[in-house]
Amino acid sequence: MQTYYGDFHVHLGRSADGRPIKITAAKGLTLAAALREGQQRKGLDLVGIVDAACPPVLADLEGLLQRGELEELSGGGFRFHGGLVFLAGAEVETEEQRGPAHFLAFFPTLEALRAFSRRLSRWVTNPNLSSQHCRCRADDMLEEVVALEGIFLPAHAFTPHKGLFGQGVDDVAEAFTDRQLARIPAMELGLSADTALADRIPGLGGFTFLSNSDAHSLPKIAREYNALELAEANFREWAMALRRQEGRRVAANYGLDPRLGKYHRSACPVCELIVDRPAPYFGPCARCGAPQLTPGVLDRIEWLARYGNGSMRHSGGCFPAGAAPSGNTAVDTSSDSYFLPSSVQRPPYIHQVPLEFLPGVGPKAMQKLLDCFGTEMNLLHRATDEEIAAAAGPKLAKTLLAHRRGEIAWIDGGGGRFGRVEVR
């Protein structure tokens, strides 16, 4: 087995011919640009693009294949310029009982992606744009994806805006049958949650946790990512890792400290106060009296851990803070039970402040560091303290090394505003 780094939630702003794909994403973010950034600057081995089912992106993908810049792999997925492996997927929005929820769907082949793209056009008003609202339920969508041998999983599961738990349901059993749940191998944590927080909710042991960037611009790619152990990089191996089969696994999650996430704590939509009292707290606002706050991920998770009871029947009990319910053994997807023995541990979740969050790391400093170390993965994982000190100059090196040692102070995020760090 070998270690591969992957980020499986990257958006595109435009097609190669300039048509909008995701309005809120950067204009320079085309398929080829995202793949180049992932490979050359970030140093990733795998990238999941979640707007690949939009017809203009599909056309770009076909163009790259024709020009020999992409190659379809026999194990599924596409290889870019002989290196990075690209997994083609879609972010979809379904209608759940209480509100809309976002999911990611990935497909092994160009043929399956084309078939899904055609089906998607039945459910959405404008299939050329990404993450459009689908007039269907998640369980129907799951069946469609699985029929195409795809992988289907909840995106940013706990965020107040369109996370399955954040907005859609109190319990996965409200959206899926046990048999369907057995076919959902993973769940994306989102920027405001980590493994310890998510495992406060009982019954999630069967889901492998993914930490992805949800990047809407090039620099944001790999602000969260995963280390995977695979025999080689392709779709089939990746799916096996999510299902924890035959030694393939997610070996570590790298992500923001949840306190930095935009929706970590409840926050006032009127006066923007971010709550600092114990979670769960949803209002009223201590400053202006607004009755209802935008729920924070921490507050929502604490509420579900204490008062949500639906999941108990899956897991047989509650887990104390930080205790991992389960880990890396194979999921028997043929059985109706998707829960794992509680003795196995989750992979570590390694808190990492993305370089752009660090005071003093502007575009110029970043370029200087990249000139030195090649990629961000090299700087973060492979460079020695001495090499960083030599390359960065005393002031920046102090910040980078403090980050490495975790000597950093936090200011909570909430209500759509990121948290901040200060070097102590």
- List residues binding Zn ion (CB under 5 A): 91, 214, 268, 270-271, 273, 285, 287-288, 290
> Is 114 or 161 the residue whose CB approaches Zn ion more closely?
161
> Are the beta carbons of 318 and 305 closer than 8 angstroms?
yes
Shortest Cβ 50–Zn ion spacing (Å): 6
Q: How far is the CB of 192 from Zn ion (least distance, A)?
A: 14
Q: Which is nearer to Zn ion, 292 or 367 (CB)?
A: 292
Q: Which residue stretches of 286-342 are H helix?
A: 297-307, 312-315
We find the least distance from the C-beta atom of residue 150 to Zn ion, in angstroms, to be: 17
Residue 154 CA neighbour count, 13 Å, CB half: 31
CB-nearer residue toward Zn ion: 1 or 290:
290
3-state helix, strand, coil in the chain (%, to 5): 30, 20, 50
Q: How far is the CB of 291 from Zn ion (least distance, A)?
A: 10
Nearer to Zn ion, 70 or 268 (CB): 268
Which residue, 273 or 408, has its beta carbon nearer to Zn ion?
Answer: 273
Task: Give the distance from CA 369 to its chain's centroid.
Answer: 26
Backbone φ and ψ for 213, nearest 5 degrees, come out as: -80, -30
Q: At what angle do helices 385-392 and 394-404 cross, to 10 degrees?
A: 150
Question: CB-based burial of residue 321 (10 Å sphere; 0-12 exposed, 13-18 middle, 19+ buried)?
Answer: exposed
Q: Of the two residues 166 and 327, which places its CB atom closer to Zn ion in the complex?
A: 166
Q: Would you say 160 or 203 has its CB closer to Zn ion?
A: 160
Q: How far apart are CA 171 and CA 393, in angstroms?
A: 50
The residue among 191 and 331 lying less far from Zn ion, judged by its C-beta, is 191
CB of 220 vs Zn ion, minimal distance in Å:
11
Minimal distance, residue 130 CB to Zn ion, in Å: 8
Q: Which of 339, 317, 331, 119 is nearest to 243 (CA)?
A: 331
Residue 246 Cβ vs Zn ion, minimum distance, rounded to whole Å: 30
Nearer to Zn ion, 269 or 341 (CB): 269
Nearest distance from C-beta of residue 159 to Zn ion, angstroms: 10
The beta strand positions in 125-269, using DSSP E, are: 151-154, 186-188, 208-210, 225-230, 249-255
80 sits in which H/E element? strand 78-80
Helices vs strands, H then E, count in the chain: 13, 14
- C-alpha distance from residue 270 to each of 95, 240, 411 (Å): 28, 46, 20
Supply the minimum distance, in Å, between the C-beta of residue 156 and Zn ion. 7
| Cα three-residue angle 356-361-367, rounded to 5 degrees | 95
Nearest to 95 by CA among 152, 136, 129, 124: 136
